[in-house]
Amino acid sequence: MKLTIALNSKILRAPRTGIGNYVAELAQALQKIPDLGMHYFSGSRWQDMLVSTQMAGYSRWAGAARRLPGAYVLRRTLEQQCFNRGANKLRPDVYHEPSLWPFNFSGRTVMTVHDLTHIHYPHTQPKDRLKEIERRLPSALVRVSRILVDSEFIGHEIKKYFGLPEQKIVVAPLACSSIFHPRVEQQLAARLQKLGLACRGFILSVGTLEPRKNLLLTLKAHARLPLPLQERFPLLVVGMPGWQAEELNAALSQAISSGHVRLAGYLDQADLACVMAAARIMVFPSLYEGFGLPVLEAMASGTPVIATACASLPEVAGPAGTYVDPQDEVGLTEQMRRLIEDDSAWMAQRLAGLERSAQFSWKKCAAITADVYRQVAND
Q: Which pLDDT score, from 0 to 100, does residue 55 have? A: 52
Predicted structure pTM score = 0.90
Cβ neighbour number for residue 296 with a 10 Å cutoff: 24
Which residues 6+ apart lie within 8 Å of 302 measured at CB? 181, 182, 277, 350, 353, 354
- Answer whether 3-175+361-378 and 185-357 agree in fold: yes
CA–CA dist 230, 249 (Å, integer): 20
CA–CA dist 48, 40 (Å, integer): 6
98 φ, ψ (degrees, to nearest 5): -90, 10
pLDDT per residue as tens digits for the range 101-136: 899 999 999 999 999 999 998 877 777 778 888 988
Q: Which pLDDT score, from 0 to 100, does residue 68 have? A: 60
Domain ranges of the chain: 3-175+361-378, 185-357
Which residues 6+ apart lie within 8 Å of 175 measured at CB? 25, 296, 360, 361, 362, 364, 365
The stretches in the chain having pLDDT less than 50 are 57-58, 61, 64
> 3-class SS at 54?
coil
The type of residue at 34 is P
If 0-12 CB within 10 Å is exposed, 13-18 middle and 19+ buried, where does residue 35 land? exposed
107 φ, ψ (degrees, to nearest 5): -95, -165
Cα angle vertex 286, ends 281, 288, to 5°?
A: 150
- Of 114, 154, 91, residue with least CA distance to 23: 114
> 3-class SS at 14?
coil
Q: Which fold has domain 3-175+361-378?
A: Rossmann fold (3.40.50)
Q: Which pLDDT score, from 0 to 100, does residue 329 have? A: 97
Are 216 and 210 contacting, i.e. CB atoms less than 8 angstroms apart? no
Q: Which pLDDT score, from 0 to 100, does residue 333 have? A: 98
Tell me, rounded to whole angstroms, the distance of Cα 121 from its chain centroid.
16
Q: What is the CA radius of gyration of the chain?
A: 21
Q: Which fold has domain 185-357?
A: Rossmann fold (3.40.50)
> 3-class SS at 317?
helix
- Of 84, 95, 101, residue with least CA distance to 136: 101
